[in-house]
Structure 1
Amino acid sequence: MAIPEHLEATVRNLPALPGCYLFYDSRGEVIYVGKAVNLRSRVRSYFNPHTWAFNPKTARLVKEIARIEFVVRGSELEALIQEAELIKKHRPRYNIRLKDDKRYPYLKVTWQDDFPTVTVTRRIERDGARYYGPYSSAKAVYATRDALRKMFPFLNCDRVITGHDARACLYYDIKLCSGPCIGAISRAEYRANIQRLCDFLEGKSEQVIADVRARMERASSAYQFEKAAEYRDQLKALEHVVEKQRIVSSAGTDQDVIAFARDEGETCVQVLFIRGGKLLGQEYFVLDGAEGEDDQSVLDAFIKRFYDEAAYVPPEVLLPTMVEEANIIENWLKQKRGTAVKIRAPQAGADASLVELARQNAQEQLATLKAQWREDSVRQEAVLKELQEALDLPRLPARIECYDISNTQGAAIVGSLVVFVHGVPKKSDYRRFNIRDIAGPNDFESLRQMLRRRFQRWQDAHGGNPGQGDGAQPQDARPLVPLASPSPGLRQRDDASWALLPDLVIIDGGKGQLGVAVEVLREFELAHIVPVASLAKQKEEIFRPGRADPILLPRNAQSFFLVQRIRDEAHRFGITGHRRQREKIGLASQLDALAGVGPARRKKLLTTFGSIEAIRAASVEELAKVVPRPVAEAIKEGLGG
């Protein structure tokens, strides 16, 4: 047993009890979370060299373990629940996880409201609403919402429904809202319509169709032909959708069918949602960290991740092979569902055919995704090569950092840093900087402070040696590994990000901003290593150090679109942070911060318009009736109306 000396005492003193264990690396990051019936036995198994030959991933993991912590639980079921919570909290890179480890979108029916509506959310809460999903993409969930809206028109606004409004909104005119605001439908009728929507999502399509047909016939018998026509249109839309639903089970049960495909280290899981014996829908999920793991481990990890936040757990889950912890997972799912849940791996018959269908779909989906990834990779490399040549860069700009300053007349100044890697945003590396101790709107000094703080953290990550970067290092020499003990001011979770140098820095601005960036890079002896460019807004001109004339990329070039997208993303990210800062400062003080607005004018504006939101919504012409036009324009720009 090859247990490292610094871990030997910890492993020796682990209790032989159920619980969870956490492996940390030298930077203090949790790199793996697991659970065990016997903590001592399970953790010791990682240090057996005989297992490393069969699982290289475990060998890599063991080499990085610097510290071990554990949590004792009362039972294996409690340990499973704790494991799910810890993985969600720490997102360890050695655990199998859903791609990007993001929250997937759900449809939310706000049943707790008098007049429920249907929204999209990524968070399930105990608020009385009904949730349906998850969906693998926002595009899929919004497409479903749009289809439901045509069949079951529902509200799209947050107005207080009295039934006495003078007129309805546009959605009522185009038959996407039933108009409760003007009394076109009663509360009871509206809620009955939303109940039919929920029943449809739950697979009770025959009941919904029968109900709508009965309502149509009653309306026709009562000579309510306009209402009957509405039900007729709803019926046609329902029947059109139901035609696409396949009857796959004569038992008429609710099942989730899970299978997966693997190829060259990539894993795609397909889930078929069968409700009432009908194939109601299907979603695919891509996994990270599954390379080198056996099939049982992949299924085990996916089931835990997927059902941890699932809106609905069916009474039966079908798998291509049984998982080792089937009994404990069944008990966990029973707690979530409220009644028994059975996990099966059918070997023959109709259920086995369903598992095979899910496997085939997963295989086809993975092939499609890989072809798309290859195409995207080739296209992005070509775009980056084009940009490299246009800007005369020493190497391919694989990592691009873009900086922007957002403020309102010098108030709530926020600097933003966005990062694109191989032409794709890497949001985990985005950062905001709250700019301090600068009086008034001074973009140059704000930019200087932001860049100094960013590259100071790079320097700190390398032991405070500004000469570390001397001599241009090609991109393939990175990522640079930060020291185990960075400076106290550097948060450990940011070490790896700050330690990387960009292949290109883009500044939102003109020659002045470019000069500031060059000065800061010189301070850190990076001017000859990190290329920098600035992008002027009006003519989309790109300035580079040492060039008098700007560079104009062809307006139809993909490199031009990439630079625009990066700059716009930096602006969007910065504005979001800036608005949050303004909210903290307070709405009234926002007015005070605007040029030309003092206490008297602030009082006059609030007296005239009644609220800051009304001032924000007012046009320049309306504001100019209260204050001079230049001040009105400053207010409009400053408040973002």
Structure 2
Amino acid sequence: MADPSTYRPKPGQIPDSPGVYRFRDAHRRVIYVGKAKSLRSRLASYFQDLAGLHPRTRTMVTTAASVEWTVVSTEVEALQLEYSWIKEYDPRFNVKYRDDKSYPSLAVTMNEEYPRVQVLRGPKRKGVRYFGPYGHAWAIRETVDLMLRVFPVRTCSAGVFKRSAQIGRPCLLGYIGKCSAPCVGRISPEDHRELADEFCDFMAGRTGTYLRRLETRMQEAAEAMEYEKAARLRDDIGALRRAMEKNAVVLTDATDADLIAVAEDELEAALQIFHVRGGRVRGQRGWVTDKVEEVGTAGLVEHALQQLYGEESGDAVPKEVLVPALPDPVEPIAQWLTDRRGAAVSLRIPQRGDKRDLMETVRRNAQQSLALHKTKRASDLTTRSRALEEIAQALGLDSAPLRIECFDISHLQGDDVVASMVVLEDGLARKSEYRRFQIKSFAGQDDVRAMHEVISRRFRRYLREKQRTGEWGPAGETGAPPHTAAGAALDEASDVPLEDTESGAPEGLTGRDEDGRPKKFAYPPQLLVVDGGQPQVAAAQRALDELGVDDVAVCGLAKRLEEVWLPHEDDPVVLPRTSEGLYLLQRARDEAHRFAITYQRSKRAKSMKAGPLDAVSGLGETRKQALIKHFGSVKRLRAATVEQLCEVPGIGRKTAESVAAGLAGAAPAAPAVNTATGEIVEEERQ
């Protein structure tokens, strides 16, 4: 526990102006971000007597080791910078809302040549128009099915679209009139985009104009005695009205508004958000959060507005936002919303009428969401805390290990040796911190040697970052690293490639950026777990000793009897089978094994993808993929002429002639066989 007086700024050093401040811990990790109208008065409130602080604030200031600030000109700029930093640093003591479930949305991919209507979940993508979110995916599909009769927009995947274009026949929806079949040229790109725009306008609530237009066309067709056309238009109008009836009118003034309600207790809070467009509820979502900082209802609303509209602009921000309490002061957040929308936004508390009644409905939903969340999570939170305490007691640690890293080695009879690192924080998987390694310094079935290499590389990177940023002394001090074996180890540049997460980013992309933000390997764990017994544990401990790392505990979990091994101990620690601590270690070990074997299988699959194009000299992987993508299969590629090969981007005539000669001279290759499983790896896939 740090003493806040050790890093308290000197009197007069803090400016009396608007700004944003950051508290960092001893590892330079940002743990809290805040904004203030006056930095001087706000930061002074953190350095008063600890007994007078809120318990959560007291925990934050004693965890921190330094504080820094950035001055801005207005409170609106402070609000925007605070949001940006919270999103970038993900500080542990800031309120962060999370969805209580994954809500689907209706999306129209306007960023494609032929826009597609589909159901999407997760973060929003640029260039895609979203409607919702909805409570259930089937509700979206029912609505879309009704509207495709009038707006036959493409709904197929890229693969189906390409396949139909290749064979010259549309899919079933094209034959039954629920797709305009742009894949076979029945509609031009411009007309199809106009159709998608009309679909979006209708979904956005602009329904009256379009319905009146259809009714006029129906009457004109009837007067011209085109009865079949009139009947079809009548059915189209009925389908649209049924789609509209799925969303009842809740606001008689047909306004666009978002309603936010909060239900909270001492530890947690739940939010419910209703999206009303054209007077109808078009979407609903729920958020929950731990109250890790001292914050009231107004503060929760402000955080919700930042998270809800931080990435949005234009039509996504309605002209009315109704809340249970107004942030203090309200002017900066109101101006920020106006800037996001590009027009005036009314931020207020509903006082009477149908808007107040609807707000009461949203509030009841929030209360039910909080009660359901606490029912689901109560045992889970208690269990995780008990598991961490059991691990600390069994291993003789000073405190519960809040960050646990687990390593595993995977290979196939000594080939394609890889390793994985998974991370648990507060007992939960932190998948963004997962890493994977390639072992290329040797080959063979030497798990102990591989474990030593992986641990050395992981902590060598960590120490190199500390050395580069001068973080060897107490917080805020700089200087050379202590004279230990780590000094020599850091001078030895590792030439072994390292990959992290699913993308396989090279080691050079990790570390810190110019602003000193720690990334990737900059945070050490309190506990390091290896998959294995005494030999693997000894190898991991030896790697830490060689680097001079003495503040990380090490243990191993052997599969045979689920024994926990400690360094320099002849006998294992045996935890009861009913122990929550043992269960947590097993979960970490199994997750590391899964992550390692997935990576190892992907490498093995790539190594077996030998085909006839490999025999063509000078043909790189990019152009191989371009050829296969263009023709769809190796069979069609063999039948292509030199002129057809030249149509592929990046393929010149000389290369095309080489490809044609290579394929003509190569007999159809025998299928590659996975020697481990006996499965045939197919050469051609369409």
TM-score (norm 2): 0.65
Report the Cα distance in structure 2 between the residues aligned to 1:595 and 1:515, rounded to whole angstroms: 41
Correspondence 1:520 to 2:531: no
Aligned to 2:32: 32
Percent same amino acid among aligned pairs?
28
Is 1:448 the counterpart of 2:451? The answer is: yes
How many residue pairs get matched? 567
AA partner of residue 331 (structure 1) = Q
Question: CA-to-partner distance for each residue in 1:169-193, whole Å, 9 max, x for gaps?
Answer: 4554687643121244454553343
Aligned to 1:552: none
2:363 to 356, 359, 365: 359
Going from structure 1 to structure 2, the CA distance change for 1:216 and 1:381 (only over 3 Å counts) comes to farther
Pick aligned residue for 2:525 from 485, 488, 498: 498
Q: 1:146 to 1:640 in 2, by over 3 A?
A: farther
Within a 5 Å distance, the mapping from 1:285-324 to structure 2 comes to 285-290=287-292, 292-310=294-312, 312-324=316-328
Structure 1: segments with no counterpart, 5+ residues = 464-481, 508-513, 535-540, 547-557, 583-589
Distance 1:564 1:22 in 2: 35
Amino acid at match of 2:376: Q
Q: Supply the AA of the counterpart residue of 1:74.
A: S
Specify which of 547, 557, 561 is matched with residue 531 of structure 1: 557
Distance 1:483 1:317 in 2: 47
**Which SS does the other structure have where 1:530 is aligned?**
strand
Q: Deviations over 1:180-220 (max 9, x none)?
A: 21244454553343223312331234445555666677788
Q: In the TM superposition, what whole-angstrom CA distance separates every residue of 1:489-533 from its partner, at most 9, and x where no partner exists?
A: 69665465533234xx558xxxxxx89746735757999942132
Contact 1:320-1:345 at 8 Å conserved across structures: yes
1:59 is aligned to: 58
CA distance in 2: counterparts of 1:457 and 1:422, whole angstroms: 25
What amino acid does structure 2 have at the position aligned with 1:277?
A: G
CA 1:574 to 1:101, structure 2 compared with 1: closer, same or farther past 3 Å?
Answer: farther
Q: Retained in 1: the 8 A contact 2:254–2:278?
A: yes
C-alpha deviations, 1:543-587, integer Å up to 9, x for none? 9999xxxxxxxxxxx99x9899847851586379969xx9xxxxx
* CA contact 1:246–1:279 (8 Å) conserved in 2: yes
Shift of 1:372: 2.8
> Aligned partners of 2:219 and 2:537: how far apart in 1?
76
**Aligned equivalent of 1:433:** 437
- Distance in 2 of aligned mates of 1:297 and 1:73: 21
The one-letter code matched in structure 1 to 2:92 is R
Shift in Å at residue 401 of structure 1?
Answer: 3.9
Q: State whether structure 2 residue 669 is matched by structure 1 residue 627.
A: yes
Residues 1:196 and 2:198 aligned together:
yes
Q: How much does 1:43 deviate?
A: 1.4
| Comparing 400-409 and 22-31, the one that deviates more | 400-409
**Contact 1:595 1:631 (8 Å CA) reproduced:** no
Pair 31,424 (structure 1): closer, same or farther in 2 beyond 3 Å: closer
Residue 380 of structure 2 corresponds to residue 368 of structure 1: no
How far apart are 1:243 and its partner, in Å? 2.3
Distance in 1 (CA, whole Å) between partners of 2:358 and 2:106 is: 26
Change (3 A) 1:216 1:371: farther
Contact 1:19 1:76 in 2 (8 A): yes
The question of whether the paired residues in 1 share the 8 Å contact of 2:102 and 2:121 is answered with no
Cα distance in 1 for partners of 2:624, 2:76 equals 62
Task: State how 1:137-536 maps to structure 2 within 5 Å.
Answer: 146-147=141-142, 149-150=144-145, 151-152=147-148, 153-158=153-158, 166-169=168-171, 172=174, 177-187=179-189, 190-210=192-212, 238-263=240-265, 265-290=267-292, 292-310=294-312, 312-374=316-378, 401=406, 403=408, 405=410, 414-419=418-423, 425-438=429-442, 444=447, 447-448=450-451, 451-453=454-456, 494=521, 498-502=525-529, 506=531, 517=536, 520=539, 523=542, 529-533=555-559
- Structure 1 distance, partners of 2:458, 2:321, is 51
What is aligned with 1:555?
Answer: none
Alignment correspondent of 1:82:
81
Give the whole-Å Cα distance in 1 for the aligned partners of 2:680 and 2:241: 50
**Deviation of residue 630 (structure 1)?**
4.6
C-alpha distance in 2, partners of 1:219/1:517?
A: 82
CA distance in 2, matches of 1:640, 1:569: 28
1:612-623 aligned at under 5 Å gives the runs none
CA distance in 2, matches of 1:117, 1:274: 24
Alpha carbons 1:409, 1:594 under 8 Å: kept = no
CA contact (8 A) 2:258 2:274 kept: yes
How far residue 149 of structure 1 moved from its aligned partner, in angstroms, is 4.0
Deviations 1:594-624 (A, max 9, x none): 78999746689999998365899659xx999
Partner in structure 2 of residue 41 of structure 1:
41
Q: Deviations over 1:108-141 (max 9, x none)?
A: 533354421246475667x6x3532674xxx968
Larger displacement relative to structure 2 (239-248 or 339-348): 239-248
3-state SS of paired residue (1:196)? helix
Paired amino acid for 1:6: Y
Q: In 2, are the aligned partners of 1:272 and 1:279 still within 8 Å (CA)?
A: yes
Comparing 516-525 with 183-192, greater Cα deviation is found at 516-525
Partner residue of 1:132 out of 119, 130, 133: 130
**Matched position secondary structure for 2:93:** coil
Q: Which moved more, 1:630-639 or 1:172-181?
A: 630-639
Q: Does the 8 A contact of 2:628 with 2:634 survive in 1?
A: no
Distance 1:354 1:322, change over 3 A: same
Q: What SS class does the counterpart of residue 17 from structure 1 fall into?
A: coil
Counterpart residue type for residue 40 of structure 2: R
Provide the rounded CA distance (Å) in 2 between the counterparts of 1:563 and 1:237: 52
Cα 1:631–1:297, aligned 2, differ >3 Å: closer, same or farther? closer
Aligned to 2:108: 109
Following the alignment from structure 1 to structure 2, what is the Cα–Cα distance between the partners of residues 364 and 323? Answer: 24
Structure 2 unmatched ranges of 5 or more: 467-472, 476-480, 491-509, 512-517, 546-551, 566-570, 572-582, 639-662
Distance change in 2, residues 1:381/1:238 (3 Å) = farther
Cα distance in 2, alignment partners of residues 227 and 517 from structure 1: 79
Q: What SS class does the counterpart of residue 256 from structure 1 fall into?
A: strand
Helix, strand or coil for the counterpart of 1:352? helix
Distance 1:294 1:576 in 2: 50
Q: Is the 8 A contact 1:521 1:527 kept in 2?
A: no
Whole-Å Cα distance in 2 between the matches of residues 81 and 351 of structure 1?
A: 29
Q: Distance in 2 between matches of 1:605 and 1:178?
A: 39
- Give yes or no for contact 1:115–1:187 (8 Å, CA) kept in 2: yes
State the superposition RMSD in angstroms: 5.6
TM-score (norm 1): 0.69
Q: State the alpha-carbon separation in 1 of the partners of residues 601 and 214 from structure 2.
A: 45
Q: Does the Cα contact within 8 Å between 2:611 and 2:683 map onto a contact in 1?
A: no
Q: CA deviation at 1:259?
A: 0.9
Distance 1:82 1:609, change over 3 A: closer
CA distance in 2, matches of 1:495, 1:445: 25
Task: Give secondary structure in 1 for the equivalent of 2:8.
Answer: helix
- After TM superposition, give the deviation of residue 257 of structure 1 in Å: 0.8
1:13 Cα deviation from its structure 2 partner? 0.9
SS of 1:4 mapped into structure 2: helix
Give, in whole Å, the separation in 2 of the partners of 1:199 and 1:451: 55
1:160 CA drift (Å): 7.2
Taking a change above 3 Å as real, the CA distance of residues 628 and 363 of structure 1, as seen in their structure-2 partners, is same
